[in-house]
């Protein structure tokens, strides 16, 4: 089994910013996922250089009532790591744990439903998965910052730990670096803002 990096499609059909009612959102998705054309294309027209059935980790960004979070599905250890920027330095409340358990359960069921439908050699089962709720935030973040935090977590969470601390300073550097990377995409004709280049240059000098 390969240690392939990000594979983000599991949440494309759940993570809609317009749908804040989790129960309604997931109820609509139940049993209908394999008939949605965009999902069919994600599984059938695999543009990646690896096969879905051999993936070790799945990273699933999700929009919840208060903001964005990231779920990391480890298929070797059958473990789901919940990375929620909004828990901040205080950790998860009982209410947030229940919410994440419900959401990850629905996502896992949906992923397996699609995988078994599109792949005859899908080797995994849904039973006996565990959840991990690590306290890894060094600062408190707002709902507006949670989306950017999720891109940071997707980049720097290696399946066990963050290889770079998530705090205000590192998030600001990540913001500028992300913008720089986006502006350098193929066929982009706009210029990278000078203040962004200067910020990144200064940050690297500090490091």
3 Cβ contact list (under 8 Å, min separation 6): 56, 57
- Assess if CATH 3.30.70 describes domain 9-141: no
Mean pLDDT for the stretch of residues 112-119? 79
Is 152's pLDDT higher than 50?
yes
Q: Residue 23: pLDDT band by 50, 70, 90 thresholds?
A: very low
What are the extents of the domains in the chain?
A: 9-141
Mean pLDDT for the stretch of residues 32-49? 65
Distance, in Å, from the CA atom of 32 to the CA atom of 105, rounded to the nearest integer, reads 16
């Amino acid at each position: 089994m390969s240690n392939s990096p990000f594979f983000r499609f599991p949440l494309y059909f759940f993570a809609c910013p317009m749908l804040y009612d989790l129960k309604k959102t997931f109820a609509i998705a139940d049993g209908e996922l394999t008939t949605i054309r965009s999902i069919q294309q994600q599984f059938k027209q695999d543009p990646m250089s690896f096969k879905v059935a051999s993936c070790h980790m799945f990273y699933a960004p999700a929009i919840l009532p208060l903001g964005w979070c990231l779920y990391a599905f480890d298929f070797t250890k059958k473990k789901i790591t919940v990375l929620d920027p909004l828990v901040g330095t205080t950790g998860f409340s009982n209410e947030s744990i229940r919410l994440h358990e419900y959401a990850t359960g629905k996502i896992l069921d949906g992923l397996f439903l699609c995988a078994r439908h599109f792949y005859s050699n899908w080797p995994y089962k849904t039973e006996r998965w565990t959840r991990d709720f690590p306290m890894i935030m060094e600062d408190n973040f707002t709902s507006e910052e949670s989306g950017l935090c999720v891109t940071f977590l997707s980049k720097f969470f290696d399946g066990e730990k963050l290889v770079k601390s998530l705090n205000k300073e590192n998030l600001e550097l990540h913001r500028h670096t992300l913008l720089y990377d986006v502006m350098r995409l193929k066929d982009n004709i706009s210029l990278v803002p000078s203040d962004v280049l200067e910020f990144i240059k200064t940050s690297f000098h500090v490091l």
